[in-house]
Structure 1
Amino acid sequence: MSIEPIGGAGDTPYALSHLDALESEAVHVLREVAGEFERPVILFSGGKDSIVMLHLALKAFVPAPVPFALLHVDTGHNFDEVLAHRDRTVAEHGLRLHVASVQDYIDRGELRERPDGTRNPLQTVPLLDAIARHRFDAVLGGGRRDEEKARAKERVFSLRDEFGGWDPRRQRPELWQLYNGRHSPGEHVRVFPLSNFTELDVWQYIARERIELPSIYYAHEREVFARDGMWLAPGAWGGPRDGERLERRRVRYRTVGDMSCTGAVDSEAATVEAVITEIAASRLTERGATRADDKLSEAAMEDRKREGYF
């Protein structure tokens, strides 16, 4: 933790740094969840935001173990590097991981493949079923307000109804970092400890804490093809189509989700420091630049959140 001097003689001599203030807020939220709820769970995909959130949880409760289970809604189209990192992290810290598989629902005929091949919108039903089956009353996610307009409307504690739906009109005030976790039977609360982090904050925190990430977040050579202004990776999900040519390019991923809708960006940033420099110069959010599922309409994310998506 770094301390910065402020003021003059007789004034309060020290203040927390920006990253320390964000860390302190997130740790406070995590401890509030542990105190208020009976069966919390952390959404953990192996992506950078969920990795940072788990790192914060480890710090929040040390030397005790993390009092939360982990949950991953696996689309079946995830990147191998990310799944491998997920499994290594779970094993390293002796955590309990629940996996809800979209493929299982497709195999049973409870969900149908979309024409565009993306399975991100299909995550909602497995997520809500897992919450109900395990009776999770608080679900912690790595969503941040700077990512997307609908997420900017979200409170830190976000009440969801008995169908998992989100109504922005039911958002509760959170003055003075006081959080209200009350909910009726069948309802649950989504919790966002990283709400006030930005993408740049996340990377600066990763650098400071020396947090290990999947290799695809750094520049590497990969076969990709162009579609809708993005570089997508080939895979069993259905790409490339006829007329879409594979190219070998040096790329990295700013955000990681379903392979069918997560685009790579051309990059030479192979280190944390280089990534921070690249992000500082960017004028596009990570989701706006590389997530096709958010480009379906102006209200794509908000519509999915109302249906129960994270």
Structure 2
Amino acid sequence: MTTSPTHDYQLSQLDVLEAESIFVMREVVAEFERPVLLFSGGKDSIVMLRLAEKAFYPARIPFAVMHVDTGHNFDEVLAFRDQRVAELKVQLIVASVQEAIDAGQVVEPPDGTRNRIQTPVLLDALDKHRFTAIFGGARRDEDKARAKERMYSFRDEFGQWDPKNQRPELWSLYNGRIHAGESIRVFPLSNWTELDIWHYIKREEIELPSIYYAHERDVFERDGMLFAVHEHKQPRPQETVFTEIVRYRTVGDASLTAAVRSQADTVDLVIDEVASTRVTERGATRGDDKFSEAAMEDRKREGYF
């Protein structure tokens, strides 16, 4: 008597993460009336767009993308943002912090940084366009506050987050029930790490803005971090400008995001570098998270991602 062979079918770690993210995206589109994806031109939102392509292929991505533009972005990232949405033929909504300042809706802080005044601009745009589910690229490994959040993050009618009011997600069952004015923030990359993102970028041959790879840039040192000389980030009289080979692990505002010394000018070299680091990308490069240990959680309570 012969028996048919059994095949041990196993998915790789990347395949498991991809399948989970695609499942979540499809659940959101099936369940919510007006989803939107936050897209800044950064690596995590670029990966989310790739996942959305796969989730709904051969149809087009069935939701718009939105960028909360502070006006302090890196030029390379904005150019890539516009290039990518044009290639995918998706609608781009830009919520401008500068326009909100000009209209008197928000006040620019004395230090000139704008990252912390993104929140009211974001909440206003979500209300204006009546979005009920908002995809964000947050990952649990970025910050302690991120690790408290579920895949579906419930927000009240004011867009605020209560970490003690998180809904259980047993057996990957997601509760998307909301009342008028409430919304859900959705994080398909919750279980990904920075290293997973880079392995996926390599596997999928995903193009990124050039500043993610090592290049020469004029920088100065402040608070132990290297900041690029930029229209919105100038050295103080006692700070020396020098040329360094650097790259960016994350791309927020030029006024707050620091570079790291690096020779990693290819995907493989970046993967080797990320695999050996013991400091999170936000901890190493984001000045806006150094105000206090609870900086991120405070901002999320106000309505930030």
Scaled by the length of structure 2, the TM-score of the pair is: 0.97
Q: By how many angstroms is 1:10 displaced?
A: 7.5
User: Which one of the candidate residues 160, 180, 205 is aligned to 1:165?
Assistant: 160
Which range moves more in the overlay, 117-126 or 39-48?
A: 117-126
Q: Which runs of 5+ in 1 are unaligned?
A: 1-8
Structure 1 residue 38 corresponds to structure 2 residue 36: no
RMSD: 1.2
- 1:261/1:293 contact within 8 Å kept: yes
Aligned to 1:270: 265
Aligned to 1:63: 58
* Sequence identity (%): 67
Paired letter, 1:66: I
Q: By how many angstroms is 1:11 displaced?
A: 6.7
SS at match of 2:120: helix
Aligned to 1:96: 91
Aligned to 1:4: none
Aligned to 2:279: 284
Whole-angstrom distance in 1 between the partners of 2:228 and 2:49: 27
- 1:218/1:275 contact within 8 Å kept: yes
Within 5 Å, which residues of 2 pair with 1:206-217? 206-217=201-212
Whole-angstrom distance in 1 between the partners of 2:192 and 2:53: 18
- 1:160/1:187 contact within 8 Å kept: yes
Q: By how many angstroms is 1:38 displaced?
A: 0.5
Aligned to 2:217: 222
Aligned to 1:115: 110
Whole-angstrom distance in 1 between the partners of 2:113 and 2:222: 13
Q: By how many angstroms is 1:241 displaced?
A: 2.0
User: Which one of the candidate residues 51, 69, 80 is aligned to 1:85?
Assistant: 80
Whole-angstrom distance in 1 between the partners of 2:233 and 2:268: 35
Q: By how many angstroms is 1:240 displaced?
A: 1.6
Whole-angstrom distance in 2 between the partners of 1:29 and 1:129: 26
Whole-angstrom distance in 2 between the partners of 1:211 and 1:192: 20
Whole-angstrom distance in 2 between the partners of 1:226 and 1:107: 32
Within 5 Å, which residues of 2 pair with 1:144-223? 144-223=139-218
- Which string of whole-angstrom CA distances, capped at 9 and with x for unpartnered residues, describes residues 140-188 of structure 1? 0000000000001010000001111000111011111111111111010
Paired letter, 1:104: E
Aligned to 1:6: none
SS at match of 1:54: helix
- 2:227/2:233 contact within 8 Å kept: no
Q: By how many angstroms is 1:297 displaced?
A: 0.2
Structure 1 residue 50 corresponds to structure 2 residue 50: no
- 1:117/1:238 contact within 8 Å kept: no
Scaled by the length of structure 1, the TM-score of the pair is: 0.95
- 1:145/1:195 contact within 8 Å kept: yes
Aligned to 1:233: 228
- 2:233/2:254 contact within 8 Å kept: no
User: Which one of the candidate residues 248, 253, 256 is aligned to 1:261?
Assistant: 256
Aligned to 2:245: 250
Whole-angstrom distance in 2 between the partners of 1:30 and 1:38: 13
Whole-angstrom distance in 1 between the partners of 2:236 and 2:103: 27
User: Which one of the candidate residues 60, 70, 73 is aligned to 2:68?
Assistant: 73
Aligned to 2:19: 24
